[in-house]
Structure 1
Amino acid sequence: MKGLFFSAEDGKNTLRRRIANICMAEGLDPEVVAENLIVLDATDAPCLFHEVNDKGVKRGEVTDHYEELKNTIITENITFLIVDNASDTFGANPIDRQAVTKFIRALVALVRQAGGAVLLLSHVNKVTSKAGKHQTDTEGYADSAAWHNAARSRLFLNVTDDHGNLQLKHQKNNLGITQPVLNIAFREGGSSFYSTNGSSSNNSVAEAVQTLLRTAHKLPLLKLIHEFYCRQEWISPSPNSAQTNAFALLKKETTFPLGKSRDDKTECLAILRELERDNYLMKETYRKIDRHEGQRWALTDSGLAFIGEPMPAPVQDEDEEINQQAVQDE
């Protein structure tokens, strides 16, 4: 998965320093990070969506900078876009429900074809900001409710004490259950954060990152499996089927979210098992052309709803198709 950080608030020097600190703290190879992350300093041209006045009629539209970002995303095959932040990139009325919804949908459209995701950062209102650790409501967003309604998932980061410790709450998730609260603290010197959940901060951060990546990979994998299914290119659920297992067939596709290593194969098969347990994917029995039974991956109703696809017409087994053709010939 390749990511792009669109920074409309902080310049390149600040970003480089922060990324360097994170790499040092987490033991990451900067060269590997550079291969999988593009950072754009957009402080000179941050606006992606603005309000135009057409003969007295106001409406929201994407800007030329949006189109430039779109071209970069397509060229670089970006599947995870981070936009920092809403107040700098959104130039229309923040309480206009239609404009806000149109803006968020325009961001999602940038990565939809690749089965990607967008993380839009946004500042809270003054009341929420001043409340800090005394925050009592569950809104955690400013201006129009469309900022909440248009997003499929929403996280809220808030200070919990006078020492600057933080808490990340998952306040909304339309695609599943909300995740447990993540407690966060600054490392010594304030160079970066780490999760204080569990006994080991490094382990809990790694586990949180692994969970996030695995969740992001599910949508493009399901879309690819459904695409193959609709073309009647059956994907075997057996990892021992050298030529027809999911990894062997899908790794050649441009929207495949993983790499091609042995570890990527292990991760791919693990994600498929999770999808089966979550009732998004099922093993479907069918009769092959040699009249022997086989198994193929197929999306369940929940899986189809997850990727936004309608129920397909029943797939006809190959031997039934031959029998029908024989009757027609007679």
Structure 2
Amino acid sequence: MEPHKPAPGLKRAAQLIDKAKPPVQWVFEPSTLQGSPVPPRLWCVPDWIPDKVVTLLSGDGGTGKSLLAMQLATSCATGALFLGMEIAARKVLYLSAEDDQDELHRRQADINRSMGIDFEDLDGKLFWKTLSGEEALLAIPDEKTKRLKSTAAYNNLRNACRDEGIQLVIIDTLADTFGGLEIDRQQVTRYVRLAEAIARDNNAAVVILAHPSAAGLREGTGISGSTAWRNAVRSVLYLSKPEPADGDPPDRDARTLERIKGNFAPGSATINLRYVDGAFEVDEAESGSAFDQFATENKLLHIIKRGLSAGVHLSPSNRAEMYIAKHLKKSGEFGRMTLRQIHGLYERMLANGHLRIASIGTGKNKKSVIAPYDYPFLPDERDPETGEKRGN
């Protein structure tokens, strides 16, 4: 029996398909990474808000998520601690579709007072765009294909962020800017991908504020509509009011911030907050010891870096005038911590490799200075063994 031969037309079609195959260059071979350094993970807030992706900050109306988001914006704009965590300064755009400029003004004044800063300290670092009363939708379904498409408002937002070098975009809220159906997973995913495109332009973080659905409130997931939102974003934070114990009245000023999803962070985490004079503070009496230690270590790193930038050199020696424990106790920045506790904190961070002792100068002018392990060499810093100059 002769082998089957395809008809001429089928043979020609097969040839055309082969020619239409995309070139192999469109794939990437990971073997080429051999010997290349692994790029570090980029964070806006370490373990809580990653860069280059979208974070969802959810909370019921009246919990204060807009206030918390504005505190985040202010901390990022000034490089100040956020809920006890050290972050790098960056340009911030806060897009508000719910509140007008007067409301943002009042809220910002409270935040400034709590942080000890003025409005002029935000010059060129923090930007607002209010869409209250305007068309705020960033994406809507196409009338024919139903595929979600960007709007002029989205294009203006993306271009502004790219032109200004914005590295944190806060969108308040999801309900005002998403024009699709929350039960449509493709539309939800498409909206998140549009937001991610803004994040990737400048290695930025995008935080979108959302209201949880009735089911999200009941189940404590903080999710709006469907699980598509949780699946599409890389980090989900949930701000809520803690349930009072049996017989106790509700604590109107208490809040709980929970990381209920973090693709790049270990497990879940919780920070207990308290509303004090127009802003949220970490409730140290209620927060877990693991977070307290993390926040306190970050606070010490921030203080040391700030001091080095201002020429303040803290010493590990208890006989020195700038002995670290004595200086920090006198400053009051560590509250009720004792000299022994502050010294223990310093020694623990030294043992863990977070701090180092820099040897400055020679002879009678030689002194030891505490510095973060990854801090650049200080002026006239010397190798502790050879005495050779290491700094500029």
- Name the TM-score, length of structure 2 as normaliser: 0.48
Task: Note if contact 2:111-2:279 (Cα within 8 Å) is conserved in structure 1.
Answer: yes
Q: Deviations over 1:176-230 (max 9, x none)?
A: 2146311111114xx2221103599xxx7x949x69xx9xxxxxxxxxxxxxxxx
Paired letter, 2:156: E
2:283 matched to 1:196?
Answer: yes
* Structure 2 CA distance for partners of 1:35 and 1:138, relative to 1, 3 Å: same
Structure 2 contact 162–201 (Cα < 8 Å) conserved: no
For residues 9 and 41 of structure 1, the distance between their equivalents in structure 2, rounded to whole angstroms, comes to 8
- Contact 1:73/1:111 (CA < 8 Å) preserved in 2? no
SS of 2:374's partner is: helix
| Matched residue, 2:150 | 62
CA displacement at 1:117 relative to structure 2: 0.8
% same residue: 29
1:155–1:270 CA distance, 2 compared to 1 (3 A): farther
Q: Which residue of 1 aligns with 2:96?
A: 7
| Partner deviation per Cα, 1:142-168 (whole Å, 9 max, x = no partner) | 212110011111111111142221101
Amino acid at match of 1:193: F
8 Å CA contact 2:211–2:222 kept in 1: the answer is: no
For residues 254-282 of structure 1, give each alpha carbon's deviation from its aligned partner in whole angstroms, at most 9, with x where no partner exists. xxxxxxxxxxxx889359xxxxxxxxxxx
Instruction: Could you tell me which runs of 5 or more consecutive residues in structure 2 were left unpaired when the two chains were aligned.
Output: 1-89, 245-249, 303-357, 359-370, 377-392
> Which residues of 2 match residues 1-330 of structure 1 at below 5 A?
1-43=90-132, 44-54=134-144, 57-129=145-217, 131=218, 137-160=219-242, 161=244, 162-164=250-252, 165-178=254-267, 180-188=269-277, 191-197=278-284, 207=295, 269=374
The question of whether the paired residues in 2 share the 8 Å contact of 1:158 and 1:168 is answered with: yes
Tell me which amino acid in the other structure corresponds to 1:41.
T
* 3-state DSSP of counterpart to 2:183: coil
> AA paired with 1:139?
T
Cα distance in 1, alignment partners of residues 173 and 102 from structure 2: 18
Give me the CA root mean square deviation. Answer: 2.9
Q: Alpha-carbon deviation of 1:138?
A: 4.7
Following superposition, which runs of at least 4 residues in structure 1 exceed 3 angstroms of deviation? 266-271
Instruction: Verify the 8 A CA contact 1:52 1:59 in the aligned structure 2.
Output: yes
After TM superposition, give the deviation of residue 25 of structure 1 in Å: 1.1
* Larger Rg over CA atoms: 2
**Higher RCO by CA contacts (8 Å cutoff, separation 6 or greater):** 2
**Aligned counterparts of 2:271 and 2:375: Cα–Cα separation in 1:** 24
The one-letter code of the counterpart of 1:157 is L
How far does the alpha carbon of each residue in 1:218-243 deviate from its partner, in whole angstroms, 9 at most, with x for none?
Answer: xxxxxxxxxxxxxxxxxxxxxx9xxx
Give, in whole Å, the separation in 2 of the partners of 1:177 and 1:184.
21
The offset of 1:139, in angstroms, is 2.2
* Cα deviation 1:94-120 (Å, max 9, x = unaligned): 111011011011111112132111111
Q: For 1:70 and 1:127, how far apart are their aligned partners in 2?
A: 33
CA distance in 2, matches of 1:16, 1:10: 10
Does structure 1 retain, via aligned residues, the 8 Å contact 2:272–2:286? no
**Alpha-carbon distance in 2 for matches of 1:199, 1:59:** 46
Unaligned runs of 5+ in 1: 132-136, 215-239, 241-265, 272-330
Amino acid in the other structure paired with 1:76: E
Contact 2:256 2:270 in 1 (8 A): yes
8 Å contact kept, 1:182–1:197 = no
For the structure 1 residues 28 and 14, does the alpha-carbon distance in structure 2 shift closer, same or farther, using more than 3 Å as the test?
same
Cα contact 1:78–1:111 (8 A) shared by 2: no
| Corresponding residue pairs, total | 205
Give the Cα separation in 2 of the matches to 1:267 and 1:69.
Answer: 38
Q: Judging changes above 3 Å, is the alpha-carbon distance between structure 1 residues 111 and 141 closer, same or farther for their aligned structure 2 residues?
A: same
- Please state how far the C-alpha of 1:62 moved relative to its aligned partner: 0.8
AA partner of residue 194 (structure 2): A
CA change 1:145–1:6 in 2 (3 A) is same
Q: How far 1:45 moved relative to its partner? A: 2.5
Q: Given the superposition, is the C-alpha separation of residues 153 and 199 from structure 1 closer, same or farther in structure 2, using an over 3 Å criterion?
A: closer
Higher share of residues assigned helix? 1
How much does 1:47 deviate?
0.8
Structure 1 residue 33: Cα displacement: 2.1
- Indicate how the Cα distance of structure 1 residues 64 and 150 shifts in structure 2: closer, same or farther if over 3 A, else same: same
State the secondary structure of the residue aligned to 1:83: strand
1:81–1:268 Cα change, 3 Å: farther
Return the TM-score normalized by structure 1.
Answer: 0.56
Query: C-alpha deviations, 1:274-297, integer Å up to 9, x for none?
Result: xxxxxxxxxxxxxxxxxxxxxxxx
**Letter matched to residue 196 of structure 1:** D
